[in-house]
Amino acid sequence: MHLNTTPSGFGTAAEPLWRGKGRTLERLAPQLLCSRVPQGLCLSAAQWRASRAECVRRVQRRFGASLVAVRSSRDGEDAPGESQAGRYRSCLDVAVADGAAVAAAIDAVFASYRGARAWDDVLVQAMVAPRIVAVAATHAIEDGAPYYVFSLGDGARTDAVTRGDAPVRTVYLARDAEPPRDGDVARLYDALRELERLCGGEPVEAELALVDAQTVLLQVRPLNVALPDPRPARARRTALERERRDLADAPTACLGERRMLALMPDWNTAELLGAHPRPLALDLFSRLVGGAAWRRARAALGYRRVGRVDLVAPFAGRPYVDVRASANSLLPAALDATSGAAVVDAWQARLVAQPALHDRYEFSIAQTCLDFDFDSAWHARYGGVLDAPRLAAYRDALREPTRRCLDLAALRRAQSHLARLPRRCDTADPSALLDAAEHDGALPFALLARQAFAGEALMRSALARGALAPERLALLQQSCVGATRELLEHGGDVRRRYGFLRAGTFEIATQCLAHLELAPLSPGAAPQPAAPFVLAPRERRAIDRLIAEAGLGLDADALVAHYRLARQAREHGKYALSQAVSCVLERIADLGARQGLDRETLGWLALAELDFEAPARLRDIADAARTRHRVDALLRLPPVLDPRAPLDVVAIDAGTPTFVGAGRASARLLRVDASTPPAAVPHGAALAIESADPGFDWIFTRAPAALITAYGGPNSHMAIRCAELRVPAVLGLGIERWRRIAAADHVVVDAASQSLTPWRHDE
C-alpha cells in the first residue's frame, strides 16, 4: 500500500492551521485521499445560547435517527505550544432522536470549557462502528523520539486508546524505516503521512478508526513536543543492530538453541531498577544479584549448575535478563541435557509468541517446581515437546528441588545467614561492603526468594485444583505478617528502624528515608491485626491428597506453615538486602564527596570506574554516560527482545495486569516517582508509580486508596504488599497504558471485578 500524492497548503497566513478540531476537520476533509472525515456539524456557543431548540433540530435534520458524538472544539484547544488534548468533555453514543439527550450532551461539553466564549464551538460528529481504533503520532509523544507511533485498541469504543481503560497494542516504526506494505498499520501509516504533509511537516497526532475498508479520521491536533536531533539516535540504532546480531550468535555453555532477552522474567529487574536505570544502579544490581548469587542459590536447592554466565544482559542501557541462562538455572539438576534443551527452547518460544507474559514468566511459561497442576499445565502449553518417558523423567527430576525448597531447615539456615549481614556491613571498606552485600545479603535472599516462590506455586496450584477457594488463599496471604506491617506498626519510629529504605533501592541519587521529612502516619494506615488462618478439615484432606499425589513427603499443615514462614522470610530478606545496598551507596557517596563528586555524578559511573583519585576523569566519564543515556532513551525497545528481529519496528503488546488486594477504591490519582517527597503525598490518594521497588514501602504510611504500576507481576514485591494490607492494586499495566492512566485525575479500581476506570474531573 502506497501513499497517494495530495495537494499541500492547508492553512494560510490569513487563516491559521488550527481552529478547533471541528473547523480543522472541515478544512482538511476535501484534501484527504487516504482517510475520510465522518459527517459533522459545528455549533458555536453564541448559536447555542440564542436558540437551543433550533440547534437540536439542526442536529436531528443532519444526522437522522443515528448516534452521534458531541466533542469539544474550542478555538485554540489544539494549537502549537498549548494543546489541551483530553482537557475537555466528550459525550459518545448520544441518541439523536432524544432531543433532551442531545441538549444535555452539548451543555456538558460547553460546561467543561468553564466559560465558553461566543465563538467557541462544539463538534457533533456521526458515530462510527470501527474494527480498530488508533491514536497515531508522527513522533513519540513523550519525548519526540523519531518514530511513527500507532497505539491500537479494539473497536468497542472510539476512545478506547485515549481513556486508557482498555488493552492497547503499540507499534513504533522508525521514521527512516521501510514503510509497511500491507495490513492495518500500513493503512494507518498512509493516513498519518498524508496528514503530516498537509500540515506542513509539523508533528501531529491523530485519532483514527478502521471501519470496513476505510480509514476514518476522527480528529487531528499538533503534537506539542520538542523534537531532538534524530541523527544520534539513528546512528546508535545502527550500532545496536550489530550488537543484536552478535547476541544471537554468541557462544554459551547453556542448553538451548535460542537466546532471548526480557525485562521481567527473573528478579523483576524493571520493577527493581526501572526500565532504563543509570549505570551505577545497573552495575550494582548486576554484581550483587546477577553475577553469582542467583545461580549459586539455585544450584544449592537442586537446580542445574550454570557456568559463569551473567543473569543480566544490558542492551542500550536496559536491564534485560538473559532468558536462556535463567531458564537453564531453573531446570532440575537430574534432567538430561537433551530434554533440558527442549524445555528451554519451548519456554522461550512461548515467550516470543506471547511477550506480554514476560512479567509472569514462572506462572504462565516456566514450570520450575512440581506443583499440583503440573500435568495439565504442561499438556496445555507444551504437549509433544517431550515424549512420555522423557516427560515422566522431567516430572520426577523436579521433585528433588521442590522438596529442598520446602525444607524448613534450609529456610532457617538462609535466615541465619542473613542475620550476619549487619555485622559485616559495619565496615568502611567499599570492597568488603560489596562482598558482604553479595555473600551475606543477595545469596541468602536468593535462596529465600526461590523457597517462597515454590510455596506460592503450590498454593496457587491447590487453588487451581479446587483444594482452596480464592478467598481462603487471600486470607492465608493476609495472615503472613510481613515487614511492611511491622513498618506501619512502628508509626513515627519508621525513620529510625527503616531509614535505609530509598525509592529506587540501587539508585544513589535518591535520598533514603533517614534524610527525608516524613508526614505523620495517615489515619487508617496502621494495619488491622493479622487475621488467623487455619485449614478447614475439608481443605486439609484435599491438600494432603494432592501432596501424596506429587510425592512431596509432608502434610498440609506443614505446607501452610512453610508458606507463611517463607513469605515472611523473603520480605525480611528483601529489607536486609536493601539495607546492605544502602550501606554500599552511602559509602560511595562519602568517598565521592571528599573529591567534590556529588551523588548525581556518581550515579553515572560503573563500579569499576570509581577511581576517586582522579575526580576530573570521573566527571568526563559521567558526562559521556549522560549523553549516551539521553540518546539511548530515544530508542524504543520491546519488553521481550528477540535477537533475530530488527530494531526499526517495535511492537509492544497489551499486557495482562495483575489485580491484587481487596475491595473497591475511588480516589484522586497522584503520580509518584523516586523524587516525590513522602510528606507531599496526601493520605487516601490512589498512586501511580512506574516501577515500585521496596524503597517505596513508605507509601503505605499514607494509607493509599489504590496502587497502579507499569511493571510488576503476580509475585512481585508490591503484589505481596498489597495482598497483605488489602490495598486494591493493578500491577504490570505495561508502560504505554500506564502513561495514559497516570495522566487521569481520578481512578476507580475494583479488585473483585478486576476493573480499572480512569476519568477526568470534567467528565
Q: 760 or 203: which carries more pLDDT confidence?
A: 203
By CB atoms closer than 10 A (0-12, 13-18, 19+), residue 16 is middle
Check residue 557 and give its pLDDT.
96
> CATH number, domain at 716?
3.50.30.10
Q: Which residues pair with 70 in a beta bridge?
A: 91, 124
CA dihedral (530, 531, 536, 539) positive or negative? negative
- Rounded CA-CA distance 548/532 in Å is 26
Q: Please give the tally of structural domains in the chain.
A: 1
The answer to whether position 520 is within a domain reads no
Check residue 208 and give its pLDDT.
95
- Averaged pLDDT for residues 99-127: 91
By CB atoms closer than 10 A (0-12, 13-18, 19+), residue 739 is middle
Q: What percent of the chain has pLDDT over 70?
A: 90
Check residue 203 and give its pLDDT.
93
Check residue 8 and give its pLDDT.
41
DSSP 382: H
Largest pairwise CA distance in the chain: 85
- Rounded CA-CA distance 556/533 in Å is 13
For residue 192, how far is the Cα from the chain centroid?
28
Under the banding of pLDDT at 50, 70 and 90, the label for residue 498 is confident
Check residue 482 and give its pLDDT.
63
- Rounded CA-CA distance 490/470 in Å is 31
CB 285 within 8 A of CB 273: yes
Q: Which residues pair with 123 in a beta bridge?
A: 42, 71
The answer to which of 178-182, 318-322, 674-678, 749-753 has the lowest mean pLDDT is 749-753
Over 50: is that where the pLDDT of 13 sits? no
Tell me the helices (H) and strands (E) count for the chain, helix number first.
Answer: 28, 20
Under the banding of pLDDT at 50, 70 and 90, the label for residue 5 is very low
The answer to whether position 686 is within a domain reads yes
Which residues lie below 8 Å from residue 245, measured CB to CB, with a gap of 6+? 643
- Averaged pLDDT for residues 278-301: 94
CA dihedral (599, 604, 610, 613) positive or negative? negative
CA 497-572-481 angle, 5° bins: 95
Closest by alpha carbon to 645, among 382, 359, 258? 258
The answer to whether position 699 is within a domain reads yes
Over 60: is that where the pLDDT of 7 sits? no
H-helix or E-strand spanning residue 658: strand 658-660
Over 80: is that where the pLDDT of 524 sits? no
Check residue 516 and give its pLDDT.
74
Q: 148-160 burial by CB neighbour count: b if 16+ within 10 A, else e?
A: bbbbbbbeebbbb
Over 90: is that where the pLDDT of 300 sits? yes
H-helix or E-strand spanning residue 183: none
Check residue 762 and give its pLDDT.
47
The answer to whether position 34 is within a domain reads no
Length of the chain: 763
Tell me the pLDDT tens digit for each residue of 603-616: 999 999 998 889 99
The answer to which of 30-39, 160-169, 284-293, 730-739 has the lowest mean pLDDT is 160-169
Check residue 561 and give its pLDDT.
93
Over 50: is that where the pLDDT of 190 sits? yes
- Averaged pLDDT for residues 375-399: 96
Check residue 463 and give its pLDDT.
95
Under the banding of pLDDT at 50, 70 and 90, the label for residue 356 is confident
CA 343-347-352 angle, 5° bins: 145
CA dihedral (649, 654, 655, 661) positive or negative? positive
Over 80: is that where the pLDDT of 494 sits? no
- Which parts of 425-555 fold into alpha helices (H)? 430-437, 443-464, 470-478, 483-489, 494-498, 537-550
The answer to whether position 664 is within a domain reads yes
Over 70: is that where the pLDDT of 39 sits? yes
Which amino acid is residue 724, in one-letter code? E
Over 70: is that where the pLDDT of 83 sits? no
Over 80: is that where the pLDDT of 496 sits? no
The answer to which of 23-37, 161-175, 314-328, 584-598 has the lowest mean pLDDT is 161-175
CB 761 within 8 A of CB 745: yes
Closest by alpha carbon to 35, among 209, 180, 166, 158? 209
Over 80: is that where the pLDDT of 36 sits? yes
Whether this model's pTM surpasses 0.85: yes
Under the banding of pLDDT at 50, 70 and 90, the label for residue 164 is low
Closest by alpha carbon to 501, among 491, 511, 493, 489? 511
Q: 139 or 754: which carries more pLDDT confidence?
A: 139
Over 70: is that where the pLDDT of 59 sits? yes
Neighbouring C-beta atoms of residue 745, cutoff 10 Å: 13
The answer to whether position 692 is within a domain reads yes
Which residues span the domain enclosing 743?
655-759
Task: Spell out the long-range contacts of 184-188 with Cβ–Cβ below 8 A and sequence spacing 24 or more.
Answer: 184/132, 184/152, 184/210, 185/150, 185/152, 186/1, 187/1, 187/34, 187/215, 188/134, 188/136, 188/150, 188/215
Q: 577 or 15: which carries more pLDDT confidence?
A: 577
Q: Which residue has the cell 507481576?
A: 713
C-alpha cell of 633?
532513551
The answer to whether position 723 is within a domain reads yes
Over 50: is that where the pLDDT of 6 sits? no
Tell me the pLDDT tens digit for each residue of 383-394: 999 999 999 999
Strands (E), 9-146: 40-44, 67-73, 91-95, 121-126, 132-137
Tell me the pLDDT tens digit for each residue of 132-154: 999 999 999 888 999 999 989 88
The answer to whether position 85 is within a domain reads no
707 φ, ψ to 5°?
Answer: -135, 140
Over 70: is that where the pLDDT of 682 sits? yes
Q: What separation in angstroms does the CA of 245 have from each of 249, 265, 641, 645?
A: 7, 22, 12, 9
Over 70: is that where the pLDDT of 522 sits? no
Tell me the pLDDT tens digit for each residue of 400-415: 999 999 999 989 999 8
Under the banding of pLDDT at 50, 70 and 90, the label for residue 483 is low
Which amino acid is residue 705, in one-letter code? A
- Which parts of 354-481 fold into alpha helices (H)? 361-364, 374-382, 388-405, 408-419, 421-424, 430-437, 443-464, 470-478
Highest mean pLDDT among 160-164, 166-170, 395-399, 740-744: 395-399
To 10 degrees, what angle do helices 408-419 and 443-464 make? 150
Check residue 519 and give its pLDDT.
67
Check residue 663 and give its pLDDT.
81
